[in-house]
Each structure stands twice: as C-alpha cells, then as structure tokens.
C-alpha cells in the first residue's frame, strides 16, 4: 500500500527544520530542542543519540568558553509544551521526522 504525497502529519512544527545555523548559540538551542524531543520518546533506540547530543552540547559550550563567548542556558520552549499531545497522536511520525531533521541539522553543522 502506497502513501500519498498529499498526506501530512500536522503538529510537528516545533521540530526544527533545515536552515543555516549561524551561531554557536543557535546550534546549542537546536540541539537542546532535539534532545528534549528524543528524551520524550518511549523508544530505547534514541537513548544513545540523546546522550550524544548532550556530549555535543558540552563540546559547544567548551568551544564557546574558549572563545570568551559563553552560551546562555537554553530554556524550555513554549513550542514543546504540546509535545505530549503530539506524541499520543503520532508517535512514530514524530520519531521519524525528528531523526530525519536531526540528521540534516547535524550535517549542516
């Protein structure tokens, strides 16, 4: 059974899309969003990825500190408040979209 290209999953706008990341701060914020999403997923397959994101964020903070421009703490985003509802409605789609966009974002970095 094929899936129509017209079918859309709504409510995933909070997952960062592909866009140029111009600063260490923006990279850290993007990684923090992905980390929050991944830790909310019940799949055990994403635990290591979440840990790797934490390590990558630590490296970004060290790099920023070495350049005398420490990064601000990332606050929980309003857009992630509805994450639980979205996960209930489309768990698999959320995981697939998040991992796909994360891969693209990491390649851009």
Domains plus CATH for the chain?
24-108 (1.20.1250.10)
Which tokens is 34 given? 């992905």
Q: Is the pLDDT of residue 58 over 70?
A: yes
Question: Could you tell me the pLDDT band of residue 5, with boundaries at 50, 70 and 90?
Answer: very low
Q: What is the pLDDT of residues 74-89, one digit of tens each?
A: 765 655 666 666 666 6
Among all chains, which residue has been given the structure tokens 């990332």? 74
User: Do 36 and 47 meet the contact criterion of CB atoms below 8 Å apart?
Assistant: no
């Amino acid at each position: 059974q094929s899936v129509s290209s017209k079918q859309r999953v709504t409510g995933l706008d909070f997952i960062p899309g592909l866009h140029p990341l111009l600063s260490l701060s923006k990279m850290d914020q993007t990684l923090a969003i992905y980390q929050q999403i991944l830790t909310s997923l019940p799949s055990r397959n994403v635990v290591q990825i979440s840990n790797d994101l934490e390590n990558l964020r630590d490296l970004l903070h060290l790099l920023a500190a070495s350049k005398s421009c420490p990064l601000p703490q990332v606050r929980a985003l309003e857009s992630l408040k509805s994450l639980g509802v979205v996960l209930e409605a489309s768990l698999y789609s959320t995981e697939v979209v998040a991992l796909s966009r994360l891969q693209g974002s990491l390649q851009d970095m």
